[in-house]
Amino acid sequence: MEHVAIAGAGSWGTALAVACRRAGRRVTLWGRDAGQMAALAGKRENPRYLPGIALDPEILISADPDALTEADACLLVVPAQVLRATLGQLAPRLKPSLPLVLCAKGIEQQSGLLMTEVAAACLPDNPLAVLSGPTFAAEVARGLPTAVTLASTDANLARTLAQAIGGRSFRPYVSDDPLGAEIGGAVKNVLAIACGIVAGRRLGDNAGAALITRGLAEMTRLCLARGGKAETMMGLAGLGDLTLSCTARQSRNFSLGLALGEGQDLDAALKASRGVVEGRFSAAAVLAMAEGLGIELPICQAVDQVVNQGTDLAATIDRLLARPFKAEGFSA
């Protein structure tokens, strides 16, 4: 795979373009906004999302979907809620044999589908993979050491993609559990909001550690119910991504929770975010998925109540703390 296309020119898409070029690939970075892409091409920088990161002159920057036609693989790095519309726009230009790598973390709110399920519905003939794990775009773009999960039911495809985009500081580990990788990527965003709330209300390090641990149990419970693997939740796409998102202010989801915990209004906190806070959308979708499977996710339910239903934060925390004592484990 010599030519890698990146669809989506936000922080993560731009960082992946930098990483793929660093790996020696020919790279096309595509975005829908012609004005934004022209500015990126002129400045060779994405000042809104990745200020200070120079874009290699060999990276082709374009708003023309035809620029993706000859790629050997396409990394889809648009927000989860616009993936379907983006695929509809790009479908006529993408070869049926072109591997698609789903890089957005979330669940389509309207349908409750994971990103691979949306892609399969829109482009049923294209092979699919999932890229997930503990990644902050700015650190990847700067070449700091990063490890990710690259998951596909096609082991050869996963290995080929890993060799194509991997390098000394960007290290993909292959997996045969794309479903588990997607569950981890979606649920961790919801739990990061909860951890931000804990930090904002100064509930202590004990509470933060407990929430991450019990959040991991919820994530694993949902993964197993959907047919994923528990070991995936113990890896980069599960525990790794959860730990990063739940402990760092770079996380948009954690930052939203932090603002709410400190008493900010939800709308004001969302406006202050530099990008899409996917956990807000995922909270409702994750909860609906769990209810359909007959399982309980009390932390995710609490986040949904706060960010989507306007429930009082203090009362929601009190209800969580008043739950009956149970045995520890994925089923509890």
Q: Which pair of tokens denotes residue 20?
A: 């793929």
Instruction: Please give the model's pTM, rounded to 2 decimal places.
Output: 0.94
Annotated binding-site residues read 8-13, 32, 49, 105, 133, 135, 137, 188, 241, 251-253, 276, 278
Domain 179-321 has CATH 1.10.1040.10: yes
Annotated binding-site residues for sn-glycerol 3-phosphate read 105, 133, 135, 188, 241, 251-253
Report the phi/psi class of residue 311: left, alpha or beta, with left for phi > 0 and alpha for psi in -120 to 50.
beta
Annotated binding-site residues for NAD(+) read 8-13, 137, 252
Q: Which helix (H) or strand (E) holds 254?
A: helix 252-261
Q: Do domains 3-176 and 179-321 have the same CATH topology?
A: no
pLDDT in tens, the chain (332 residues): 999 999 999 999 999 999 999 999 999 999 999 999 999 999 999 999 999 999 999 999 999 999 999 999 999 999 999 999 999 999 999 999 999 999 999 999 889 999 999 999 999 999 999 999 999 999 999 999 999 999 999 999 999 999 999 999 999 999 999 999 999 999 999 999 999 999 999 999 999 999 999 999 999 999 999 999 999 999 999 999 999 999 998 999 999 999 999 999 999 999 888 778 889 989 999 999 999 999 999 999 999 999 999 999 999 999 999 999 988 877 65
Please identify which of the residues 43, 95, 188, 229 carries the catalytic annotation.
188
Catalytic site includes residue 188: yes
* Nearest alpha-carbon partner for 67 in 106, 28, 115: 28
Residue ranges per structural domain of the chain: 3-176, 179-321
CB 74, CB 7: distance < 8 Å: yes
Architecture of domain 3-176: 3-Layer(aba) Sandwich (3.40)
